[in-house]
Amino acid sequence: MTVLRRTAPGPLPAWAEIVLLPLVNIALAFIVVGLVVAVIGIDPFHALRLLVVGALGSSESIGYTLYYATNFMFTGLAVAVAFHAGLFNIGGEGQAYIGGLGCGLLVLALGDVLPGWLVVPLAIAAAALFGAGWAAVPAWLQAWRGSHIVITTIMFNFIASALMVYLMVNVLIAPGSMTPASRAFAVTGWIPAMHDVLQAVGITVAPSALNLSIVLALACCFVVWVFLWHTPGGYALRTMGHNPEAAVYAGTNLRRTTMVAMCFSGALAGFVGVNELMGVHHRIVLDFPAGYGFAGIAVALMGRNHPLGVVLAALLFGALQQGGAELAFEIPSITREMVVVIQGLIILFSGALAQLPRPWLQSLFALRD
């Protein structure tokens, strides 16, 4: 007996799965952003033009775009590494904060004694160590005590924030200062600014906040790629993320792998402190993570948790951050928080609602056949 039945839409071709679906998701997010811009009475295309010019229009704006992208690369990688292990690290904000404390303390302690070629690597290591340490506690609590890592990492963001306010106001504040910031770092603890480095080799660019931390960020992307896809440890980590039972069967120690994944993740987030404090502020300041930790979730989702994707997504977010600032300067009724709206919408459409366009695409492809 034959039953007439509408053919169920088949699976999407691989290229549509990898390229088209994510692009449609991002397009949806930007359509909603355009609607928000239109609702507050501004022509979205005019705003877009100002944003692009603001992000890429001059060597100064490109410098700032890349400087923001550096932070997004660090936090995006942090989320991605944990994600591959099946762990959701929303503690990037706190880990970045404590990572900054780590490199800041080291530079304050040793910056006057040791030469720069020794202080900078030590401080970078300190940032990694402190960031990893702040992630290690929730990781340990998850691995040994079974508490949920999402909740504990959220709570650790607030605990980090309270701790930093206490330290800055009561302990680390520069003597005689009214604002809660530490004394300035010795020059040995500064990461060289990109315009100075380029000047030294004869290229003149406008000064910006961009510094050599971006090299560290790109190196981290490479290390993450090698680690995740070309080492036994990375293989164990990804196996745990896909199927914990299979990982156990293959001899993986889940507790140890959880610790490795989260410490790696926390160290990456901690490098935001290197870019911000050693690269730009040259002292420990309050609230420097400024949402980069949370934005890392959007970066990782958009970059599909792959280092190359993270670099591309971080560049886009960096451009949005810089272009958004310029846009807010040009049009007073738009604020910088428009970028936060975009981040939220990208997390929504590329993450939680990622499957929304799938049926549409499936019917489209079914039509073609």
Q: Where do contacts with other proteins occur on this chain (CB under 8 A)?
A: 36, 39-41, 88, 90, 141, 145-148, 150-152, 154-156, 158-159, 162-163, 165-166, 170, 291, 294-295, 297-298, 301, 332-335, 337-345, 347-348, 351-356
The residue (of 275 and 343) whose beta carbon lies closer to other proteins is 343
CA atoms within 13 Å, Cβ hemisphere of 248: 5
The residue (of 58 and 335) whose beta carbon lies closer to other proteins is 335
Longest dimension (CA), the chain: 90
CB of 133 to other proteins, least distance (A): 15
The residue (of 7 and 204) whose beta carbon lies closer to other proteins is 7
CB of 300 to other proteins, least distance (A): 10
Distance CA 67, CA 62 (A): 9
CB of 161 to other proteins, least distance (A): 8
CB of 180 to other proteins, least distance (A): 12
CB of 90 to other proteins, least distance (A): 6
The residue (of 18 and 42) whose beta carbon lies closer to other proteins is 42
The residue (of 164 and 214) whose beta carbon lies closer to other proteins is 164
CB of 281 to other proteins, least distance (A): 21
The residue (of 57 and 344) whose beta carbon lies closer to other proteins is 344
Distance CA 267, CA 282 (A): 20
The residue (of 110 and 354) whose beta carbon lies closer to other proteins is 354
The residue (of 146 and 232) whose beta carbon lies closer to other proteins is 146
CB of 132 to other proteins, least distance (A): 18
Which residues lie closer than 8 Å to 144 by C-beta, 6 or more apart?
A: 255
CB of 166 to other proteins, least distance (A): 4
